[in-house]
Amino acid sequence: MKAIDGLTLSAEHRAALRPGEAVSDENGTVHHLPRFFFEVPSWEEAHSLRVASHFALSELITVDSREAELLLRAFPHYVPCAILALARYLEDFRREVDAPVFISANGGYRSPAHSSNKGVSLHSWGTAADIYRVGDTYLDDEKSIARYAEIAGSLGTEVRVRAYKEGDDHLRVDLGYLTLVPRECSES
């Protein structure tokens, strides 16, 4: 995949992706949105590109009409480089559960411009996944979510699993405000 400095994108893309912009979380802690992205030239390439043994890039970037129009309809798309770390952890999770893992639409990467984001969302870093199904089990109740949350949480201390809340229909897993600077890119 071709790495791109988000600061070199068109004004329209920069407005939607907000590369490197400082944002505050719910506690007032400042984080910087991803600056470096992989360029995805087409939906076909997203389907064929494996980011882990059992995951195509398309599975981690599927969004709906709440995404910014430019980022939904026009290619190329731009995906934070840290999505590769998320893919690795999802692959580890799949190995542990020994079953296919399904990410919901809007449950992987979505841009800061996506209207589902309420405040700062780790989905904008490409480091959060909403898992709605494991194998034949839909994660739509406390028992199924708790079962798989324990497995996901065992992958490492850097993995955060959101506790079940009444009405949840997925397991939320994230790696925090992780950014990745590709070797061929410069932060200066």
Domain ranges (residues) in the chain? 2-174
pLDDT given at position 77: 95
Sequence-ordered alpha helix ranges (H) in 7-141: 11-17, 43-48, 57-61, 69-73, 83-97
What is the rounded CA–CA span in Å between residue 106 and residue 62?
6
Q: What is the pLDDT of residue 187?
A: 85
* pLDDT, mean over the chain: 95
Per the document, the length of the chain is: 188
Question: Residue 65: phi, psi to the nearest 5?
Answer: -70, -5
Q: Tell me: the pLDDT tens digits for 28-83?
A: 999 999 999 999 999 999 999 999 999 999 999 999 999 999 999 889 999 999 99
- Residue 150 CB contacts under 8 Å (≥ 6 apart), including other chains: none
Q: Considering only CA atoms, which of 185, 164, 161, 173 is closest in space to residue 86?
A: 173
Residue with tokens 């087409």: 42
pLDDT tens digits for 8-23?
999 999 999 999 999 9
| CATH fold of the domain at 2-174 | Muramoyl-pentapeptide Carboxypeptidase; domain 2 (3.30.1380)
* Residue 1: per-residue pLDDT: 87
Token pair, residue 160, equals 């955060």
SS3 (DSSP) at 2: strand
- Calpha distance 96→99 (Å, rounded): 8
